[in-house]
Amino acid sequence: MGTEGGNVRVIGGRYRLEARIGRGGMGVVWRADDTLLGRQVAVKELGVDETLSHDEQRQQRERMLREARAVAQLRHPNIIVVHDVIRDEQHPYIVMELISGGSLADRIARDGPVDAVEAARIGLSLLDALRVAHAAGVLHRDLKPANVLLEAGTGRVVLTDFGIAQVEGATTLTETGGFVGSPEYTAPERMAGERAGAGADLWSLGALLCTALAGESPFRRDSLGGILHAVVYDEIRPPAAAEPIAPVILGLLEREPARRLRLDQAERLLRAYVATGATPQPAVPQAPYTPTRPDVPTVPRKGRSTRVLLVTAALVAGVAGAGIATAALLAQRDDNSPPGPASSASESSRAPSASPSGSASPAPTVTVTRTAPTPSGTPSGTTPAGYRTVTDAKGFSLRVPDGFTRSLDGPRVFYMSPGNTFRLGIKVAADAGDGPGAAQRQAAEDGPKNNPGYRDGSVVDTLHKGHTAALWEFTWNGFSKDEGARRTVDLCWEQDGRLYDVWVSAPVGRAGEARGYFDTAVDSFVPSAHK
């Protein structure tokens, strides 16, 4: 991989890997020299599951790069800066700022627990970071002391290692049945294999604060099964040192997501403690965890206890050497309801959108199976629960959520949720010769004309299944006050002389859920004929 110079590798034609400084489940982290800009950086070499087929590995790499680019759009002092996302000899890499200083885990191991004031300071910094990530529909999914850096000299708190981050709607289990995240910091709803929202990251923050104050996680046990049982069932007892901010910790460690402390509530309580030194008191009764931006909510699920036991058994069996892949099947919801009704809205001429005026029932849990297209022109593999495979007369096949209905607008095809809250759009056209990058940049230039309140637009050149592609993302205001702010994600790629364009549009507060629909549609898309 890369250019070899003695024992030194150079990737991307500019990053010289100098020393390995970390290793985790998602890859290896290197200290590197950016020879173009003359600066030190950190380079994360993402690992790929070698047990997958060649096509599945390729799709996994593309998914990693796509999600890494989403994280690269995040800008906040408490979030690691991503300088570059590259592929070198088919291996994906993330180039990040190099933080001088160790992790919170290192500090605890070296100096012991922190006091309540320092824990509150760290907690506030992480809440600021999560607010930005969640507003963009990005969940961290592995918030723990080892992934929190403390910059030497400044004390800046930096949330890093978004290596397993995904958009809202991901489950705890990977496509091959593996466990995603660190069990001691994983929320109960994710243990149950449920579709988890921003509240799962807040649970992890509560566990992290306990660890910072006590020196170890409150859910540490001698076995994986013991950890899973502790997270889901055991009485939660914060350490005595946590008493000054106990209402925050207990609120974050509320097992039922609907009753869990919201991000804004936790921030208000911690700021009150830092300002006064007095233990903050939450409002009584505690406000429910409801859909308010920037939080992305989770919804209570039925039958959690049974599913947790099944998932626990499968995971423990996997550790013992038995087939863990069955966990993905055991974790599926038993109420695969589609998104609920909402008000309809009109579309822009380039990236369609619609917005709800009311609530919606939870989207179904999706266990996406990455498979290569079959020669017949339809997606291969088992269609995930809550989805169906459609073969469209416009010349393509893909998977769409149950309950989405088809409509036409000139050359564009839409698959829309009830009430048009979510819209999947597809357009197939001849390539005029400029390619997807030029097409997307022209569309972005026309964004203010076609999309009221157009902002935060970005176009990134990328690859899709080996084809030249460009990803366009932006926020806008919708066509009426009732719609509210919306987020659109649009991938365009060239294949066999044609441009294929797939996009999704949704309310900003549900951008993560929409991204799940988008990823499934893009990953399963197969051209069937030229129409």
Give 177-230 pLDDT, tens digit per residue. Answer: 444 568 899 999 888 777 778 899 999 999 999 999 999 999 988 888 888 888
Query: What average pLDDT does this structure show over 143-159?
Result: 91
Higher pLDDT, 5 or 479: 479
Confidence grade of residue 4 (pLDDT, cut at 50, 70, 90):
very low
Higher local confidence (pLDDT), 333 or 100: 100
Spell out the SS3 assignment of 301-342. CCCHHHHHHHHHHHHHHHHCCCCCCHHHHHCCCCCCCCCCCC
pLDDT digits 0-9 by tens, 400-440: 999 999 999 889 999 999 988 899 999 999 887 889 999 99
User: Could you write out the DSSP letters of every residue in 83-114?
Assistant: EEEEEETTEEEEEEEPPSS-BHHHHHHHH---
C-alpha–C-alpha distance, residues 279 and 285, integer Å = 17
Q: What is the mean pLDDT of residues 391-403?
A: 93
Q: Are 422 and 168 in contact (CB under 8 A)?
A: no
231-257: average pLDDT:
90
Q: Please give the Cα distance from 491 to 293 (Å, whole number).
A: 25
Phi, psi for 80 (deg, rounded to 5): -55, 140
Percent of the chain topping pLDDT 90: 37
pLDDT of residue 7: 61
pLDDT confidence of residue 28: 85
Residue of 292 and 444 predicted with greater confidence: 444
Which amino acid, one-letter code, is at 248?
Answer: V
Q: What is the pLDDT of residue 250?
A: 93
Lowest pLDDT segment from 43-52, 125-134, 142-151: 43-52
Is residue 363 predicted with pLDDT exceeding 50? no
Instruction: Give 65-69's long-range contacts (Cβ < 8 A, gap of 24+).
Output: 65/92, 65/462, 65/463, 66/462, 66/471, 66/519, 67/165, 67/166, 67/167, 68/92, 68/94, 68/162, 69/460, 69/462, 69/471
Check residue 79 and report its DSSP letter.
B
Residue of 152, 98, 97, 158 lying closest to 122 (CA atoms): 158
Q: Give how far the C-alpha of residue 108 lies from the chain's centroid of Cα atoms, to the nearest Å.
A: 28
Q: What is the pLDDT of residue 529?
A: 59
Burial of 456 (0-12, 13-18, 19+ CB in 10 A): exposed
Record the pTM.
Answer: 0.55
Known catalytic residues? 142
Q: Please tell me the distance from the alpha carbon of residue 188 to that of residue 177, in angstroms, as a whole number.
A: 17
Q: Which pLDDT score is estimated for 181? A: 61
CB 2 within 8 A of CB 10: yes
Any idea what the Cα angle at residue 65 is, between residues 61 and 71, rounded to 5°?
A: 145
Predicted pLDDT of residue 67: 67
The reported pLDDT for the residue numbered 356 is 30
Q: How far apart are CA 355 and CA 452, in angstroms?
A: 14
Q: Does residue 26 register a pLDDT over 70?
A: no
Give ∠ CA 111-113-115 in degrees, rounded to 5.
115
Q: DSSP secondary-structure letter at 361?
A: P
Q: pLDDT (tens digit, 9 = 90+) per residue, 110-120?
A: 999 999 999 99
Choose between 350 and 375: higher pLDDT.
350
Mean pLDDT (whole number) for 234-244: 87
**Rounded Cα–Cα distance for residues 331 and 318 (Å):** 15
In this prediction, residue 253 has a pLDDT band, given cuts at 50, 70 and 90, of very high
Summary mean pLDDT of the chain: 76
pLDDT tens by residue, 316-339? 444 433 332 222 222 222 222 222
Mean pLDDT of 166-170: 39
pLDDT of res. 149: 93
Determine the pLDDT at residue 117.
94
For the four alpha carbons of 11, 15, 20 and 22, in that order, the dihedral sign comes to negative
Segment 488-501 mean pLDDT: 93
Q: What is the mean pLDDT of residues 510-514?
A: 79
Counting residues of the chain whose pLDDT is more than 70, the rounded percentage is 75
Q: Which domains does the chain have, with CATH numbers?
A: 3-97 (3.30.200.20), 104-304 (1.10.510.10), 387-527 (3.40.1000.10)
Among 400, 474, 485, 395, which residue's Cα sits nearest to residue 440?
474
Which one has a higher pLDDT value, 169 or 518? 518
The answer to whether 282 and 251 have CB atoms below 8 angstroms apart is yes
